[in-house]
Structure 1
Amino acid sequence: MVITSTQTLTTTIEPGSSTTPTLQTIPANPPCTLLRVSGTDIVNASGDKVILKGAGLGGMLNMENFITGYSGHEREHRAALTAVLGQEKADFFFSRLLHHFFTEADSAFFASLGLNCLRVPFNYRHFMDDDNPDVIKDEGFALLDRIVGLCAKHNIYVVLDLHTVPGGQNQDWHSDSGLSRAQFWEFRDFQNRAIQLWVAIAAHYAGNPYIAGYNPLNEPADPKHTRLIDWYGRVEKAIRAVDPDHILFVDGNTYAMDFSHFPVDHTLPNTVYACHDYSFMGFPGGEQYAGTSEHKERLRASFERKVRFMRGAGVPVWNGEFGPVYADPRAASKSGESAEAINARRFALLQEQLALYREAGGVSWSIWLYKDIGYQGLVYVDPDSPYMRLIQPFVQKKLRLGLDFWGCVDKEGVADVYGPFIKKLKEMIPEHIQKKKYPHIWTFDRQVERESYGKLFEGKTEAELEELAASFRFDNCVRRSHLNEILRRDAACPRLLGS
């Protein structure tokens, strides 16, 4: 698929969707130039304001459980398959998975929606071995260069997002630390290694017009707050020494939601400050978005709280992650409500958020996420694909046992075991209920929640592994048509405004 001056797209309808197929002609993205910060705007080389609109390529260079189906962290995922396949065949599978996950067909489709920026999360382990951290591996650059090159063909900017660092910058699974403790903040050596990596990356991409900028640390969570501010100052100076031109996209603390300790009168130069604007009303299990005035005001208040710092400092806003989770039209709802009805509310919430960003003067955004096994992706692996047929029983077991926070509606399947266990813990340590542990937004239950997937791959031949990996190839995936149409309509709003 090649884009010239325009791109024509025929939408593929996902199963269970009531959306009517459409034929749309989308203007091609204009040529990329080096971007910079000018006051509250991101501007191109001509001084025109650029609004970045796109998605995160999660699950590729940093694998996550709800994206690929494995129930742990990436290093555990790789270790589990290596244990049953051996190193050579496991390496083959993962290399083919990375190859198929994002190809030129994906890049062309992305551009066809009018999207102009891809956020690329990556794991530090592609560049560094923990037992030899001073050596920066060329393999990491080969992986990033391939993605940047595919995006360049369609004038798509790339934000490079360091999603995991040595020791883990937050307490959650996606920092790939294997712990529920952010040790990155406790060891200076971990912090120095991350800076060392950024210097290498910045030197490699200095002057590259397809790089929108660098996102130095995804969703940091420093309980003391001050160590994060110090680290940002250090990494900014180190990057500027080798690349003075590219923008930094700096996440707030506590999962990019808290800027309370950031100095308003001392912002970093040529830096965009990034919040993440998820709404619990778009997730299973809690209060659901109903489009009421109260719900709309709650969305607005939440967003305005997160960007209060940017408003006061007079700097640009980038919403680096947001987006609901969607119900599977093939799965029965315990409430008896159809997936179509559930998803209609989720789409309405998304549209309200996008309207808020437009009204706020054109906030740049990156929805989470581009591709997965069916929870959130613009495209997702076909439920009838070889990969999904293999892992679906395992995924369903995860849901029944309440082990998948992102997609789990409730824990009814294990309520007789899990409920009394949590109840007893609360009785034994009531002080932990009264005084919440950091991150404070997590409930007591989630602080606690922290059959082998690998066995499913035992005995697979290379031909079978190739077929499984190819399930992630664009042509073998389903496009979430209603979501893509919403994003396409928003992207049709100006992305480039003359100065």
Structure 2
Amino acid sequence: MDDNVLIQVDGPRLATANGEPVLLRGVGLGGWMNMENFVTGYPATESLQRNALRRALGEQGYERFFARFFEAFFADADAEYLASLGLNCVRLPFNYRHFEDDDRPFELKDDGFRLLDRAVDACARHGLYTILDLHAAPGCQNQHWHSDNPTHWAFFWTHRHFQDRVVHLWEAIADRYRDNPWVAGYNPLNEPGDAGGTAIGPFYRRLHEAIRAVDRRHVLFLDGNRYSTQFDMFGDPSEPWPNTVFTVHDYALPGFVDGGDYPGVSRGVYVDRGVVERTFLERTEYMRRTGTPIWVGEFGPVYTGDPARDERRYRLLEDQLEIYREHRASWSLWTYKDIGLQGLVHATADSSYLRLIKPVLDKKARLGVDAWGSLDTGVRHILDPIERTFAEEFPDFAPFPFGQRSWVNVLVRHILLAEPLVADFERCFAGVGPAEAERLADSFRFEHCARRERLAGILRESS
């Protein structure tokens, strides 16, 4: 292993073994080995999308579509572009299903490792570190779509079987990459949502010991509970977690799809740079108290297509990056590539893939089914009486993680309305043959995508 490249925790900073400080500045590769509805356009969850595509395309078409998709979505050209902006890291989210089938637990498949190897090697060729991120765990570690959860319950925390499988998977991952210096470290669970708050601490201790028995040299990036915003489960700061970074996610209200002006009011709260910085300092208090490095594993606004509104979101992003620089925080912008909502690059509206699924995209927007990427204005006639009833009948009901209104929206928009839309998505692919399926996947190839140049310029100036 090349100690001149390998990153380790050195007090409040990350550094190479020879003491050279390292600030990680990069992007998350959402939508690739862990797919999300707003990133590539399907409704509901990845597993429901895959089932629909298998039915519509047949087994051969399905296999050829995804083989081409994985090759096209992230390749050397993408890594080269990121390096050209002065970035030095890519967070690689993945779904456990690439490594293990539910009907054959603990039997690991080579397919997932080959995909990870491809991305890790492409990044290394261009001087980019990678952080390996289990974004969707068996049993679902949080309540939302990005853990491939078709419900609103995180069963991972109540079933030891699911936890055993994650430990087993990370032991294998650590063994495979323990001698790779371009892997900056392991991010074992994205945005955990342990509603009871009692299982996550013991599980993290167990996972930490299991990985450290295999690999002591790579950094562990551990997300806080409640979607990487709470850190009390790590316990007494005087009891060290060796070579560990506690990871915060730092989305700001004005950057959400329903965000208002910046500076200005979003969801009834006035937000300016001072509020953004105070929120960051509150979320990172544990890191500063423990004297450990700060890594913002996710942050970033979504864009509307309205130049004036988007300019205010770029201003928000610039303020966040300036705050991170002042506090010596590493960061990973969400996300690199998508269909136009948030990505640094995106598939074009006239691409064959987006033209094919446009009826579904329009209907998704009208019904507001994407929790991250759409508004609820078209379904207020459904939501208003439900929310009013809950406010009147259950005024003290405040479900984890984000309260009553969010809970109702997830159940109605993301589950009740989104699941039937999967059939609409399936019908878009009726009659598509294997060769055409490959051409559709090519819509995500770097040379076919558009670049968000204003965003690229901000990142270049901040790197």
With normalisation by structure 1, the TM-score equals: 0.87
Q: Does 1:102 align with 2:74?
A: yes
**Paired residues for 1:306-325 under 5 Å:** 306-325=283-302
Q: Corresponding residue for 1:156?
A: 128
Shift of 1:417: 3.8
1:285 aligns with 2:258: yes
Decide which of 379, 385, 399 is 2:365's aligned counterpart. Answer: 399
What's the offset of the Cα at 1:192?
A: 0.8
Conserved? CA contact 2:4–2:17, under 8 Å: no
In structure 2, C-alpha distance between the alignment counterparts of 1:57 and 1:194, rounded to whole Å: 21
Task: Give the equivalent residue in structure 1 for 2:249.
Answer: 276
Match of 2:278 among 294, 301, 325: 301
Q: Distance in 1 between matches of 2:400 and 2:442?
A: 40
**Equivalent position to 1:181, from 153, 162, 168:** 153
Deviations 1:448-471 (CA, angstroms, capped at 9, x unpaired): 333421111111112211111000
The 5-angstrom pairing of residues 229-244 of structure 1 reads 229-244=201-216
Matches within 5 A, 1:339-488: 339-360=306-327, 362-411=328-377, 413-427=378-392, 430-431=393-394, 433-441=395-403, 443=405, 444-449=407-412, 450=415, 451=421, 452-488=424-460
Aligned pairs (5 A) from 1:85-164? 85-164=57-136
The amino acid across from 1:87 in the alignment is: E
Structure 1: where are the runs of 5+ without partners?
Answer: 1-29, 329-338, 492-499
Q: Distance in 2 between matches of 1:119 and 1:268?
A: 22
> Deviations 1:149-175 (Å, cap 9, x if unpaired)?
111110100000000111000000011
CA distance in 1, matches of 2:165, 2:352: 39
Deviations 1:47-81 (A, max 9, x none): 11100000000000011000010112111111011
Distance in 1 between the 2:382 and 2:106 partners? 47
Question: What secondary structure sits across from 2:90 in the alignment?
Answer: strand
Closer, same or farther: CA 435–424 of 1 in aligned 2, 3 Å: closer
Per the alignment, residue 304 of structure 2 pairs with 327
Residue in structure 2 matched with residue 246 of structure 1 by the alignment = 218
Change (3 A) 1:442 1:419: closer
CA contact (8 A) 1:66 1:406 kept: yes
The amino acid of 1:414's aligned partner reads: V
* Corresponding position of 1:11: none
Q: Secondary structure at the match of 2:402?
A: coil
* Cα pair distance change 1:311/1:197, threshold 3 Å: same
Identity of aligned residues (%): 47
- Secondary structure at the aligned position of 1:242 is classed as coil
Q: 1:208 is matched by which residue type in structure 2? A: N
Shift of 1:31: 10
Cα distance, 1:319–1:309 mapped onto 2, change above 3 Å: same
Whole-angstrom distance in 2 between the partners of 1:284 and 1:168: 25
Verify the 8 A CA contact 2:120 2:182 in the aligned structure 1. Answer: yes
Q: Secondary structure at the match of 2:91?
A: strand
Contact 1:233 1:268 in 2 (8 A): no
Q: How many residues are treated as equivalent by the alignment?
A: 447
User: Are the structure 2 counterparts of residues 423 and 169 from structure 1 closer, same or farther at C-alpha, using a change threshold of 3 Å?
Assistant: same
Aligned equivalents of 2:402 and 2:264: distance in 1? Answer: 27
8 Å contact kept, 2:397–2:404: no
Q: Look up the match of 1:265.
A: 238
Distance in 1 separating the partners of 2:312 and 2:131: 30
After superposition, the CA RMSD in angstroms is: 1.8
**Aligned-pair CA distance for 1:441:** 4.8
* Alpha-carbon offset, residue 406 of structure 1: 1.6
Q: Which amino acid aligns with 1:279?
A: A
Letter in structure 2 aligned against 1:224: G
User: How high is the TM-score relative to the length of structure 2?
Assistant: 0.93
Unaligned stretches of 5+ residues in structure 2: 416-420
* Contact 2:3 2:181 (C-alpha < 8 Å) held by counterparts: no
In structure 2, do the counterparts of structure 1 residues 32 and 441 end up closer, same or farther at CA, with 3 Å as the change threshold?
A: farther
Q: Does 1:67 align with 2:8?
A: no
Judge conservation of contact 2:57–2:433 (CA < 8 Å) in 1.
Answer: no
- Distance in 1, matches of 2:107 and 2:376, equals 45
How far apart in 1 are the matches of 2:446 and 2:102? Answer: 33
Q: CA shift at 1:414, angstroms?
A: 3.1
The equivalent residue for 1:200 is 172
Shift of 1:425: 5.0
Higher helix share: 2
Q: Which amino acid aligns with 2:316?
A: L
